Amino acid sequence: MRIFIGIDDTDTIDSNRGTGKLARWFGSALPDDCRLWGVVRQQLLVDDSIPYTSHNSAACVVVDVPDPSRINDLIDLAVSHIHEHFEPGSDPGLCVASNGKTDLSGLIEFGYTCVKQKVDQSDARQAAAIAHLSGHGGTNDGIIGAAAAVGLTASGGCGRFIEFGNLRDWPEKVRVADLNRQHIQVLSLDRDARIPCPSDWVYTRNWIRPCLMGGQPVLAVRPRTDGSWENIFEKRKKKPH
What is the pTM (predicted TM-score) of this model?
0.92
Give the ranges where 44-168 is alpha helix by DSSP (H). 70-85, 105-114, 121-127, 142-155
Q: What is the pLDDT of residues 121-173, one digit of tens each?
A: 999 999 999 999 999 988 999 999 999 999 999 999 999 999 999 999 999 99
Residues 19 and 126 occupy one common structural domain? yes
In a shared domain, residues 27 and 140? yes
pLDDT in tens, 37-88: 999 999 998 766 666 566 788 999 999 999 888 999 999 999 999 999 988 8
74 in Cβ contact with 63 (< 8 Å): yes
Q: Are residues 139 and 218 in the same domain?
A: no
Beta strand 216-223 with 185-188 is parallel
Range of the domain at 195: 164-231
Both 33 and 141 in one domain: the answer is yes
C-alpha span between 224 and 227 (Å, rounded): 6
User: 141 and 47 in one domain?
Assistant: yes
Give 240's DSSP letter: P
